Structure 1
Amino acid sequence: MNDWKIFHGNREPHDEISTLPDAPSWRQFKLQKDINQKVLKARWQKILNLVREDSREYQRGKNFRVLSLPQDSEPGKQGKIYQEYQELIDGVNAAIYLRRPLLVTGRPGSGKTSLAYAIAYELQLGPVLAWSITTRTILHHGLYNYDAIARLQHLQLLKLKQEIGQGAPQQLEENIGQYLQLGPVGTAFLPSYRPRVLLIDEIDKSDINLPNDLLNLFEEGGYSIPELERLKTQAAIVRTADVGVATKIVGGRVQCYQFPLVVMT
């Protein structure tokens, strides 16, 4: 039976992701009653517009086909190749339904990373949020970046202006969002109208602690930003990994609504 499958690997863009059933009870995070659907839809449209502007990413997803059998393959091998492709398709769909990450292994150049772009293309899930791993990478690098030096310089400038009578007293905390930018992982776990595709590339190069840190993130479906948790004000507007798309974070806590489709290679 193929009617349960949402991702097929060889189709043009479609909206079958809208038929995805609710997540299992143990994989539900932010509830629908806590979500402003109008805000999510407006932000989602901005994200989709980025795909149309990025022709390279669009073509990368369009040109990769999971079920493209080699023309020069021997007839006896085609059945085995087809079976392996079907297992890959089943794995992707299982990850979508169960809201679990997908680990893809294979030889270099076999298309592991391209799979993420093919999924985003076919299911119309916006730009792929790609995070490349090195031996020095820690989870914080993928969640967000905080420019403490720029904030300190701004604070010193405000104090100087106040001392010479050129500025009124201000609360720097109100503008702290301008010193924060979410990384690809942090952006993927924002509340979203549709699940995002998060590509974690070369996970095998990671430090020994990174898999455990990722496991906690995947189980909790969210993360905290201490710099925002300490604010007196309850909300901050911060930049995301999506160019030109900002988001509001309340109380320094980010919790996903649609668990992202995480592809680890």
Structure 2
Amino acid sequence: MPLWPVYTGTNEPHDGITELPAPPPWRAFDGGPVLPAPDATADASAVSPDRTHRAETYQATQETVQLVNAALYLRRPLLVTGPPGTGKSSLGYAVARELRLGPVLRWNITSRSTLHDGLYQYDPLSRLYAARQEAAARQGGEGGTDDPTGIEHHLRLGPLGTALLPYDRPRALLIDEIDKSDLDLPNDLLNVLEEGQYEIPELVRSSRLVPDGVAQVLADGTDERVPVAHGRVRCRAFPFVILTSNGEREFPPAFLRRCV
């Protein structure tokens, strides 16, 4: 049976993502608890007028449309290579806008970027400061705040970590200029992109101290908290991941095999 295009490249928003066929058995994910996707009617590129304009005016070639659909059908990242200024990142915003995937999660890569940065950030110093403030308040006879020393209050998911939350429809993740990364980052991404899951060791160790082992943590790009059970995150709908490269380096064969 011929496959129909989910992404058409017409720049007309639609809900075709809901008609995406089931994934191959080896790319099926069952993470939970299931989270509702961000407002599908929101402009996925509304971070700035410039990005909105680029998303609305992006002209996709037929080859681009085919490759985007291949990535969506296979639940694989899409690697886009080309000189600067050729619209590589604009493609991510255009796809997110047409398919109503919500705000684009963007991870700008530098030579100092690590996998940990993309998954989550934990600030132990702010936790120590909160613990001291809490102790001082109690000694002064003041009522303490609502467990300010809990790890979840000092932890925020990164763009990659947020994209892998168990949303009921895919999120859009733009990993921009991955060729600027340290040599190890592409290989470090292999397991996470292949398995669609990761652990937060700090939450795994403290999960027994949290009711039902569920911690409420901040997601990237929002002030809303999402539940993470026992410190483990596994996606449900694999995100649409687009990686851009200016072609300044070659990537390991194992990494390329996992991308479209």
Same fold (TM over 0.5): yes
Matched residues, percent identical? 47
- The aligned residue for residue 261 of structure 1 is 240
* Counterpart secondary structure, 1:242: coil
Match of 2:100 among 83, 99, 124: 124
Mapped to 2, the partners of 1:164 and 1:264 lie a distance apart of 53
The Cα of 1:223 is off from its aligned counterpart by 0.9
Q: How does 1:147-186 map to 2 (within 5 A)?
A: 147-167=123-143, 175-186=150-161
Distance 1:122 1:230, change over 3 A: same
- 2:158 is the counterpart of 1:219: no
Contact persistence 1:48–1:127 (CA under 8 A): no
1:136 counterpart residue number: 112
Partner amino acid for 2:29?
Answer: F
Q: 1:111 and 2:97 equivalent? A: no
Tell me by how many angstroms 1:260 deviates.
0.6
TM-score calculated relative to the size of structure 2:
0.84
Greater alpha carbon shift after TM alignment, 2-11 vs 49-58: 49-58
Q: Taking structure 1 as the reference length, what is the TM-score of the superposition?
A: 0.82
On the 8 A contact 2:38/2:103 being kept in 1, the answer is no
CA shift for structure 1 position 209: 1.0
1:61 aligns with 2:55: yes
| Whole-Å separation in 2 of the counterparts to 1:93 and 1:52 | 20
Q: Which runs of 5+ in 2 are unaligned?
A: 245-260
CA spacing shift, 1:245–1:64, aligned 2, 3 Å = farther
Shift of 1:35: 4.3
CA distance in 1, matches of 2:162, 2:20: 22
Residue pair 1:14, 1:122 contacting (<8 A) in 2 also: yes
Which stretch has the larger CA shift, 57-66 or 249-258? 57-66
Q: d(CA) in 1 for partners of 2:70 and 2:135?
A: 56
Residue of 237, 240, 263 corresponding to 2:219: 240
Contact 1:151 / 1:176 at 8 angstroms: preserved in 2? yes
SS at match of 1:30: coil
| AA at the equivalent of 1:257 | R
In 1, Cα distance between equivalents of 2:123 and 2:145: 22
RMSD: 2.3
More helix by share: 1
Q: Partner amino acid for 1:9?
A: G
Amino acid at match of 2:229: V
- The question of 1:44 aligning with 2:23 is answered no
Q: Distance in 2 between matches of 1:155 and 1:132?
A: 33
Tell me, yes or no, if the aligned pair for 1:60 and 1:118 is still in contact at 8 Å: yes
* 1:12-31 alignment, distance < 5 Å: 12-30=12-30
* SS of 2:38 mapped into structure 1: helix
Larger Rg, first or second structure (1 or 2): 1
Q: 5+ unaligned residues in a row in structure 1: which ranges?
A: 67-84
What is the CA distance between 1:228 and its match in structure 2?
Answer: 0.8
Measure, in 2, the Cα distance between the counterparts of 1:102 and 1:250: 29
Inter-partner Cα distance in structure 1 for 2:41 and 2:237: 16
Query: Partner of 1:104: helix, strand, or coil?
Result: strand
Q: Report deviation, 1:64.
A: 1.2
